[in-house]
Chains A and B, each alone.
Chain A
């Protein structure tokens, strides 16, 4: 039988009990007083409460972690490794019984009958996080190589210097932060999310979480980032080409479903802009995965002629509560009761304004003008369009009872032009369809390969008769096909 008594230096209950514990030890009780505090603190504690010997230290808090008390003093009766009894805080009668079970006596002089203890040092957030990280490493849940930053290095500068950032500061991915973030998914950290182009790096849940920490994710965004990485690594999304292209497109994450709210995403005013942590970090985390796990670096593998601001990261949520349509992901196969993301390889969005629109036919005519101009008005069939209807535009379709299919079909029809208008040289511009393919100048030629190549989403603030229109990168089988995946498997 052995009695372990965990104490810490700044706990007054420990100070009250410690002399009695030492007296018991001197009288022959098998009791070890073990301090959670450091050496200097423990020495000062011993002096302050009048102990003749300084208590031993709990190195690395190994004993505290094993016994896992909520409060100290924690007096634990052990038979070998087996716990027989425990008293946390000072409860004189129970402590006397515990010592009696150990065949010893606790001197009761001056001890109060009852005095609550203080929180064990293992309950302090910083210490708990450190211990959790240590456990995760020992259990093989965390396997990433550890990089030591020097004491004289500024961690933020060090991450830039090691080529790990997108040019903005990144949060240093300490094991503590990564392990805490991993609490937001039920998945094993070593599960493979995808193989990331261009160099085929393996994105495990752990590697994605490391990059999500760096991007600034608070936690609940992690399942959305994991779903986005899954979608990006699908062959049909063609991420290799999207990274390597001279075109400015980058991945845009559109979240449809109730989990967007749980993750703190913004679907309303400024949804496509700054100011919301989840919107800002989800897209950025995906881009950091492409950079760090995939190895695609701007100016090296990424050959974009201009790029665009959305390549730092682009994510927004759909405003489904008053949308004229179902969610974009649900329209594309994600079950209605699940949250889904849709990943689109798209350029920067631009405004389509029609402040006079009051009925759906006229609004479609206006939207068609923006869709026609994707890449070049004479470019045909190689591009998808993404329209983010603002609420004041969406209301027009909702009140008129136009569903998604009807809007899409109308936009498809309105973006069809006679061959003579899109041939090379027409309107004075060299771009266009080769003349030898034009047998009939009146032949209608569609802008898009099919109506469902016009993607419709719904987000934005209450006021403004605006929508936002994105052009895609080279689309469909010859390029990147939008991917919709459920978030549920990643929660």
Chain B
């Protein structure tokens, strides 16, 4: 056995968060402003149309948004717009 070995950290040395903080739950009832984010995968719109119908039936306000392409993260401006105008966001993830 060796006397112990020093190696250099190959990572970006970011501190691991122990968990993501959860936002407060939306209050029960109607009137929440909910963003539906279409990530631009085929048929994601079909899924979101149905979610929109159900949300509106329950008296919520719905804002439809979309990423320019599913291959890239949502642009910062889009994320900011959703955060400013909506209480929650639902993403349609897959095909």
Contacts and interface: CB of A to CB of B under 8 A. Distances in A.
A292 B8 CA distance: 12
Contacts, number: 99
A256 interface: no
9 A-B pairs with the lowest CB-CB distances in the bound complex, closest first? A201-B12, A241-B71, A144-B8, A145-B9, A479-B71, A292-B10, A151-B4, A149-B5, A210-B10
Contacts of B6: 146-149, 174-175
A147 B13 CA distance: 11
Contact of B10 (A199, A288, A478): A288
A283 interface: no
Contact of B7 (A174, A293, A473): A174
Contacts of A207: 10, 12
A199 B12 contact: yes
Nearest to A154: B1
A298 B12 CA distance: 18
A374 interface: no
B80 interface: no
A214 B14 contact: no
Interface string A143-163: 011111111110100010000
A480 B71 CA distance: 8
Interface in A358-404: none
B72 A149 contact: no
B69 to A, nearest CB: 5
Given A155-B2, A201-B14, A147 B9 contact: yes
B19 to A, nearest CB: 15
Contacts of B71: 238, 241-242, 245, 473-474, 478-480
B73 interface: yes
Interface of B: 1-14, 69-73, 94
Contacts of A292: 10-12
A147 B12 contact: no
A105 to B, nearest CB: 44
A479 B70 CA distance: 8
Given A144-B10, A159-B7, A175-B6, 12 more contacts: A144-B9, A151-B4, A174-B8, A201-B11, A210-B10, A238-B72, A240-B72, A292-B12, A293-B10, A295-B11, A477-B69, A479-B69
A200 B12 CA distance: 9
B72 to A, nearest CB: 5
Contact of B13 (A144, A152, A155, A173): A144
A175 B8 contact: yes
A206 B10 CA distance: 9
B16 to A, nearest CB: 10
A178 interface: yes
Contacts of A175: 6-8
Contacts of A150: 4
Most chain A beta-carbon contacts within 10 A, residue among B7, B9, B14: B7
Nearest to A174: B7
A400 B7 CA distance: 56
A296 B14 CA distance: 14
A323 interface: no
A263 B3 CA distance: 34
Contact of B12 (A172, A196, A474, A478): A196
Contacts of A214: 10
Interface string A257-294: 00000000000000000000000000000001000111
